[in-house]
């Protein structure tokens, strides 16, 4: 197959693979090509089969193997030739996760995390510690590595394949407003079991979040990614730098390097001397993430300045904020709110242990993991499908988003100061705490930022933007008219919301009697216009993108037809090959 078409075919492959049998792909795909440059001819009858039934069967097969032998580690071969990479299911800054087949083990399905050791500048000792932790932990709720070995500059970590992917990807693809409470309870209980085990072992995970919670097709839940985990029994250099670096460099199933959103105050405020209770905080934040579809404060860009500002401010003010900012339409049970509130105590010693949390009333009538299969997994597209969608969404973001984020969003944020977080139990939200103004001059600016901030809670620009992204994903294959119908009204409402916000900001400024009000106003006006322009640009780019996609789709369709003809000719030969390999 000529190399030129490999990139075009990539997206096609990953979507079609989901509905074809493992064996066929394994036999047809050349491992060194990493599946990209070889278009697998597929029997058309297989294309319609549901992906879920297939992965279930595979998982069962794999589990039988795993349970059959105690030393499962020894069974997995330690060379790259024994594995056939099928397709990407996730990627991070310096790691890619593949679904793969282990050929000597009857093409058992595994996940392979390929960590680029050259790109992850973090100390190799960190990598060693992660590999060791993963090799020595053994618990049904913890993802354990089968084995790991180096392939040139990459470290391959071979792990069980979790067919339903991470909860973060499940949420972003199918539950943008969060999961229903009974499902949350199931997930959290499983994670508490994992934490209870980890903490009893003296391990601190340090990176609990939905992106690190993996789900299998049978609803079983495993905690993954020990990239930043620490053991209190092992001396190690704990530096803040490596903490940030390795968390972003080795995260499983990609997400933005958003880890600081989940970080406990004592982790942010001092990088020393925090213990297992930091995991409990992150667990609480993860509960909020599952409930709302995103971690609290995630609408604030994760700029370095923000992190620095949180870090530098050691004093925490206890502002009791009025809870009118909520407006959350969801109702959560008292038990849930109470459980989360206890995890988010500012004082680590007041946070309950994982064991104690398991006895909380919230988990009393908790369903089994089967519940997730019926109530969550049914609604979710296959993991490779989701990955593809997200990557496309990211591409779009890259095309349009660049200037938008840097140009107009961050200057506003730079003035924002968050000194801490107050958990607002009524609406199950974290409210940022702002320090009192340091000087008279500062007051005007601060208040307007404050105001600005509050508005985004009230369903202003940010919410709209989120929906936009969701719409973008959805409209990929839709005709242009649908795109217009859905996008344009949203953008119009975003515009009017921006106008409204501008008015309110002006209002605040005039009330403060701020002298440089006029100046600030014109500045703000410019920023607004820049923002609106870039949004208009976004619409244009999306249209182009859509046209391009449609064209590509046509091309691929043609190619597929040609290939199908080839398949019919070669089908039998290939099956023979499959059997011999």
Partner 1 sequence: MKGLFKSKPKTPVDVVRQTRELLIYIDMNWNSRDPKREEKMAELCKNIREMKSTLYGNSESEPVAEACAQLTQEFFKDNTLRLLIVCLPKLNLEARKDATQVVANLQRQQVHSRLIASDYLEANKDLLDLLISGYEDMDIALHYGAMLRECIRHQCIARYVLESEHMKKFFDYIQLPNFDIASDAAATFKELLTRHKSTVAEFLSKNYDWFFAEFNSRLLSSANYITRRQAIKLLGDMLLDRSNSAVMVRYVSSKDNLMILMNLLRESSKNIQIEAFHVFKLFAANQNKPPEITSILVTNRDKLLRFFKDFKIDKEDEQFESDKAQVVREIQSLKKENAS
The footprint of partner 1 (CB under 8 A) covers 71, 73-74, 78-79, 117-118, 121, 124-125, 127-128, 131-132, 135-136, 138, 147-150, 152-153, 155, 201-202, 233, 353
Alpha carbon distance 320, 256 (integer Å): 31
135/482 with CB nearer partner 1: 135
Q: What is the dihedral of CA 82, 88, 92, 94, to 10 degrees?
A: 40
Question: In the bound complex, what is the minimum distance in angstroms from residue 353's beta carbon to partner 1?
Answer: 7
Question: In the bound complex, what is the minimum distance in angstroms from residue 111's beta carbon to partner 1?
Answer: 16
205/337 with CB nearer partner 1: 205
Which are the contacts of 476, defined by CB distance < 8 A and separation ≥ 6? 389, 392, 546, 549
Closest CA to 356 of 380, 339, 368: 339
Which are the contacts of 275, defined by CB distance < 8 A and separation ≥ 6? 204, 232, 348
CB-neighbour burial class of residue 95 (10 A; exposed 0-12, middle 13-18, buried 19+):
buried
Write the DSSP string, 154-219: EEEEEEE--TTEEHHHHHHHH-TT---HHHHHHHHHHHHHHHHHHHHTTEE----SGGGEEE-TTS
Note if 79 is an active site residue. Answer: no
201/369 with CB nearer partner 1: 201
Question: In the bound complex, what is the minimum distance in angstroms from residue 145's beta carbon to partner 1?
Answer: 8
Question: In the bound complex, what is the minimum distance in angstroms from residue 489's beta carbon to partner 1?
Answer: 45
353/527 with CB nearer partner 1: 353
Burial 31-57 (b: 16+ CB within 10 A, else e): beebbbbbbbbbeeeeeeeebbebbbe
Question: In the bound complex, what is the minimum distance in angstroms from residue 102's beta carbon to partner 1?
Answer: 15
Structure tokens at 541: 């780019």
User: Binding residue per annotation — 113?
Assistant: yes
135/520 with CB nearer partner 1: 135
Alpha carbon distance 339, 240 (integer Å): 30
153/414 with CB nearer partner 1: 153
Structure tokens at 216: 């299998």
Contact yes or no for 167/213 (Cβ under 8 A): yes
Alpha carbon distance 466, 180 (integer Å): 20
- Tokens 């925090």 belong to 274
Given the residues 70, 79, 177, 207, select the one marked as catalytic. 207
Q: What residues are annotated to the active site? A: 207
| Binding-site annotation: residue ranges | 113
| Binding-site annotation: residue ranges for ATP | 113
């Amino acid at each position: 197959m000529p190399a030129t078409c490999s990139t075009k075919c990539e997206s096609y492959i990953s979507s079609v693979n989901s509905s074809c049998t493992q064996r066929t792909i394994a036999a047809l795909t050349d491992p060194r090509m990493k599946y990209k440059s070889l278009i697998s001819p597929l029997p058309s009858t297989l294309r319609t089969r549901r992906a879920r039934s297939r992965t279930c069967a595979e998982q069962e097969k794999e589990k039988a193997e795993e349970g059959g032998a105690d030393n499962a580690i020894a069974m997995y071969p330690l060379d790259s030739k024994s594995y056939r990479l099928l397709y990407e299911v996730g990627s991070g800054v310096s790691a890619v996760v593949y679904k793969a087949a282990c050929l000597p083990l009857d093409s058992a399905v595994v996940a392979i995390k390929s960590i680029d050791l050259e790109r992850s500048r973090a100390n190799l000792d960190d990598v060693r510690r992660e590999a060791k932790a993963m090799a020595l932990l053994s618990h049904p709720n913890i993802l354990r590595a089968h084995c790991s070995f180096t392939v040139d500059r990459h470290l391959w970590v071979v792990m069980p394949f979790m067919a339903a992917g991470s909860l973060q990807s499940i949420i972003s693809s199918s539950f943008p407003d969060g999961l229903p409470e009974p499902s949350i309870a199931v997930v959290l209980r499983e994670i508490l079991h994992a934490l209870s085990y980890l903490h009893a072992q003296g391990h601190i995970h340090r990176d609990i979040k939905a992106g690190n919670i993996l789900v299998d097709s049978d609803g079983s839940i495993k905690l993954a990614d020990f990239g930043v985990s620490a053991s209190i029994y092992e001396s190690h250099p704990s530096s803040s730098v490596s903490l940030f670096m390795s968390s972003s460099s080795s995260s499983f199933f990609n997400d933005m390097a958003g880890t600081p959103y989940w970080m406990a105050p004592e982790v942010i405020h001092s990088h020393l001397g925090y213990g297992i209770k930091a995991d409990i905080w992150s667990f609480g934040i993860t509960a909020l993430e599952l409930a709302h579809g995103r971690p609290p404060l995630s609408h604030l860009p994760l700029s370095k300045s923000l992190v620095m500002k949180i870090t530098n401010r050691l004093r925490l003010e206890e502002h009791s904020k009025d809870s009118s900012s909520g407006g959350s339409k969801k109702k959560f049970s008292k038990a849930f709110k109470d459980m989360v509130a206890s995890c988010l105590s500012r004082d680590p010693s007041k946070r309950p242990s994982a064991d104690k949390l398991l006895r909380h009333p919230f988990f009393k009538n908790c369903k089994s993991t089967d519940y997730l299969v019926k109530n969550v997994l049914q609604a979710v597209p296959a993991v490779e499908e989701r990955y593809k969608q997200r990557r496309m969404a990211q591409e779009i973001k890259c095309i349009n988003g660049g200037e938008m984020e840097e140009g107009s969003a961050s200057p506003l944020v730079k003035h924002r100061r968050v000194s801490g977080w107050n958990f607002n139990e009524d609406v199950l939200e974290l409210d940022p705490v702002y320090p009192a103004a340091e000087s008279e001059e500062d007051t005007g600016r601060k208040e307007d930022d404050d105001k600005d901030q509050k508005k985004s809670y009230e369903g202003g620009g940010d919410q709209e933007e989120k929906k936009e992204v969701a719409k973008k994903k959805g409209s990929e294959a839709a005709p242009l008219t649908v795109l217009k119908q859905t996008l344009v009204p949203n953008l119009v409402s975003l515009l009017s919301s921006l106008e409204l916000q501008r008015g309110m900001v002006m209002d605040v400024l005039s009330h403060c009697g701020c002298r440089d009000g006029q100046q600030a106003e014109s500045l703000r006006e410019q920023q607004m216009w820049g923002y609106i322009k870039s949004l208009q640009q976004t619409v244009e780019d999306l249209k182009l993108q859509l046209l391009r996609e449609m064209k590509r789709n046509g091309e691929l369709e043609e190619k597929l037809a040609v290939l199908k003809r080839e398949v019919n000719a070669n089908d039998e030969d290939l099956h023979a090959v499959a059997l011999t390999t």
